[in-house]
Chains A and B, each alone.
Chain A
């Protein structure tokens, strides 16, 4: 076992340290159309998704601003925002990086760029269908499982297309050892396609739901895992690729990679019911959820120790690469959001934090701070490499980095304050209505921070397009 592990480390070290450091000369067949497609997808939908978020935030601050425009009512804007962030911005960004590093880690070319482009197109069609159906009020009404059955099918097909392409790429690999990023990508796609189908109750096309309490249990099993089995593994895949490459070092420990990978799948899948601690569901299930939520410290810290020790003493190199800088910031957010998440599963903490803006803050630090920043990091890391030219503007990328970092930190601070005000006021017997003016100020600040995030998305999209298509920079080859 030990010998095998050290062999693994040496092999990966060789693969990473020597061959892949500089931008390699590419085989003629490899033009990264798929990775480019997912970069543009991510950049474009980040603008739309963050705009919808900004719109929702504005409506909470000024409820009559779009009075009686039905398809822009808050209850429709919110699911559009959430689903676009999830499937439009973060996931495609992480896939863009995956479609770049998977062939390299497997020492082969992508099975089919054509199939890849088709998957990008189907993916975008799915997102358009998502926006149209949810805005028109066609929804299953279940948080994170809103899309109606035909759109569910499109989502599953999109994942299957990506899976087929990457699996056939795997079949032609010349690299016998599978690097940890490869594990995460396959696990993410397979597990998400499965939990998505399960969570959306696709065997019941009419409602996409179960009945009564079992529906709540299934919904939160899925609702939690759509992050833990999609965003987390894809983001960790990118992290495991970008950080060792950026610091030009082998991974600190493959034992930790193994523990981190399997413990994530085992532990994360148990904890969905921590959303239902104050609901009449079986107590043993709540106990499992709480214990495993605390147990999440293991998969999280194992991965972070592995990554941080790999980067130890080399922060200068991380700072020098805008992609690695985003990814590294994302790992710090991962630390905060996970520790916070474990604490929030405790019933005593939930008395204050449940049902209010604290949770919204938690969601933003997780999806924008952790997965979103790593998604942007992966995107900016691969962008010059797939364009064959340097990034159009490092300044704009840095600008986006700071806008996102300040924005998401600000969100967390103001939403946490608002949540504490709400939670404590309610425990003190104040009505929901009476607390509204007390949190108004924080809604205003949140919307202002939303402007920063949205503008950074516009800047990012411009940077992506200029880098890929109108790039005055010298060709790197």
Chain B
């Protein structure tokens, strides 16, 4: 083959156009009239404006909007469909997940959580490496929040409505004073959990684990001494709970566990069931109970069979009915 200028320039362009026809134009033709998915809705004006702020600041470089069949995290309840994206111009699938996927972020948190999070992400998520966006100013952060709250479209709308419904109830309870507030909080924990003590004994190792979990997940709102005065506090209403008011309020390990696992929808308290496994939730609950409430029911009645790894004899513990070295074996 003789490589002439014509062969090189025209030849490579002809190849390119042929291939563009095949791998760009043909799929464009077959996908351009994609029907909307069942959750699809158009964006309101503030949401569209918020999306522009999202684009301007390169949020797409760390947050995907692309839930895959293999995902477990936030939004994994629903695999992305082509019909979700029909209004996206440009599409913001993203290529890297330095932060979580945001496809279904709308309604996961109330607005005030997002405002605190944007001002400095470490206020709500202490281990986050997201930049602070305080420089955008309150107005732009509001728009950005309304965009984020729209992610997930109709599914997000339902979640946002639920947040608003419970926010009203939570606010009423908070404003009725600490006693009423605590009663309200406890009342929404299912009966079985309320009477459940923390089944595991307090151990130095368990408290150390709880301390680490508290530092990594809780301290931004509830503060280093558990008084609810963490750096996120000024942005959040009802404000983060001051744990010290829980003393002598029929607080139980079960209540703490349930609230950490499930979150308190309507307030800035998120659920941690995706972040923390069972042992970590018991440990951080007991850490809060021991250090901030100063009252723990760890290893209290009613008791089940001890877990295999539990220490046999706790220092300072009164002798119990249980034999110190395990049950007698039949002869």
Contacts of B31 in A (CB 8 A): 212-214, 217, 281-282
Of B20-28, B162-170, B194-202, B236-244, which stretch is located at the interface?
B20-28
- Smallest CB separation, B315 vs chain A (Å): 32
User: Does A164 have its Cβ within 8 Å of any Cβ on chain B?
Assistant: no
| A143 and B87 within 8 A (CB) | no
Alpha-carbon gap, A195 to B24, bound state (A): 11
Alpha-carbon gap, A355 to B70, bound state (A): 12
Known: A75-B61, A288-B23. Is A67-B275 also a contact (CB below 8 A)? no
Known: A194-B13, A213-B85. Is A356-B128 also a contact (CB below 8 A)? no
- Smallest CB separation, A291 vs chain B (Å): 12
User: Does B96 have its Cβ within 8 Å of any Cβ on chain A?
Assistant: yes
Contact with B along A404-417 (1 / 0, CB 8 A): 00000000000000
| B131 and A75 within 8 A (CB) | yes
Contact with B along A185-210 (1 / 0, CB 8 A): 01100110011001000000001111
**In the complex, which of the residues A170, A273, A432 contacts B97, with contact meaning CB atoms closer than 8 Å?**
A432
> Is the interface on chain B under 10, 10 to 19, 20 to 34, or 35 or more residues?
35 or more
Contact with A along B315-326 (1 / 0, CB 8 A): 000000000000
Contacts of A216 in B (CB 8 A): 85, 91, 93
Closest to A355 in B: B97
User: Does A349 have its Cβ within 8 Å of any Cβ on chain B?
Assistant: no
Alpha-carbon gap, A355 to B1, bound state (A): 43
Of B51-59, B104-112, B183-191, B255-263, which stretch is located at the interface?
B51-59
| B90 and A266 within 8 A (CB) | no
Known: A64-B120, A64-B132, A269-B15. Is A211-B9 also a contact (CB below 8 A)? no
| A270 and B85 within 8 A (CB) | no
| B274 and A60 within 8 A (CB) | no
Contacts of A73 in B (CB 8 A): 57-58, 131, 133, 135
| A215 and B100 within 8 A (CB) | no
Contact with A along B92-126 (1 / 0, CB 8 A): 11111111110000000000000000001110010
| B132 and A67 within 8 A (CB) | yes
| B27 and A282 within 8 A (CB) | yes
| B8 and A187 within 8 A (CB) | yes
A residues 1-31 touching B (CB-CB < 8 Å) = 1, 4
Alpha-carbon gap, A139 to B141, bound state (A): 19
Known: A67-B132, A207-B89, A282-B30. Is A433-B127 also a contact (CB below 8 A)? yes
| B91 and A219 within 8 A (CB) | yes
| B15 and A170 within 8 A (CB) | no
| B100 and A70 within 8 A (CB) | no
User: Does A316 have its Cβ within 8 Å of any Cβ on chain B?
Assistant: no
| B60 and A217 within 8 A (CB) | no
User: Does A340 have its Cβ within 8 Å of any Cβ on chain B?
Assistant: no
Contacts of B121 in A (CB 8 A): 63
User: Does B129 have its Cβ within 8 Å of any Cβ on chain A?
Assistant: yes
Closest to A1 in B: B1
Interface of A is mostly: helix
Known: A73-B133, A210-B28, A281-B27. Is A219-B90 also a contact (CB below 8 A)? yes
| B4 and A178 within 8 A (CB) | yes
| B89 and A75 within 8 A (CB) | no
- Smallest CB separation, A443 vs chain B (Å): 8
- Smallest CB separation, B256 vs chain A (Å): 20
**In the complex, which of the residues A190, A218, A288 contacts B13, with contact meaning CB atoms closer than 8 Å?**
A190
- Smallest CB separation, A86 vs chain B (Å): 15
Contacts of A191 in B (CB 8 A): 12-13, 16
Closest to A4 in B: B2
Known: A191-B16, A221-B23, A432-B100. Is A63-B132 also a contact (CB below 8 A)? yes
Contact with A along B213-227 (1 / 0, CB 8 A): 000100000000000
Contacts of A262 in B (CB 8 A): 15
Closest to B274 in A: A431
Alpha-carbon gap, A191 to B8, bound state (A): 11
User: Does A313 have its Cβ within 8 Å of any Cβ on chain B?
Assistant: no
- Smallest CB separation, A254 vs chain B (Å): 9
Alpha-carbon gap, A217 to B68, bound state (A): 17
Alpha-carbon gap, A453 to B83, bound state (A): 44
| B96 and A356 within 8 A (CB) | yes
- Smallest CB separation, B34 vs chain A (Å): 6
Contact with B along A50-79 (1 / 0, CB 8 A): 000000000111011001111001111011
Closest to B10 in A: A190
- Smallest CB separation, A189 vs chain B (Å): 9
| A218 and B24 within 8 A (CB) | yes
| B55 and A139 within 8 A (CB) | yes
| B60 and A214 within 8 A (CB) | no
| B58 and A74 within 8 A (CB) | yes
User: Does A364 have its Cβ within 8 Å of any Cβ on chain B?
Assistant: no
Alpha-carbon gap, A217 to B25, bound state (A): 10
Contacts of A4 in B (CB 8 A): 2
User: Does B19 have its Cβ within 8 Å of any Cβ on chain A?
Assistant: yes
Instruction: List 11 A-B residue pairs with CB atoms under 8 Å apart, sorted by A's residue number.
Output: A63-B122, A76-B58, A137-B57, A141-B56, A170-B5, A215-B90, A216-B91, A218-B24, A218-B28, A279-B66, A355-B64
Footprint of A on B, CB under 8 Å?
1-5, 8-9, 12-13, 15-16, 19-20, 22-24, 27-28, 30-32, 34, 55-62, 64, 66, 68-74, 80-82, 85-101, 120-122, 125, 127-136, 216, 274-275
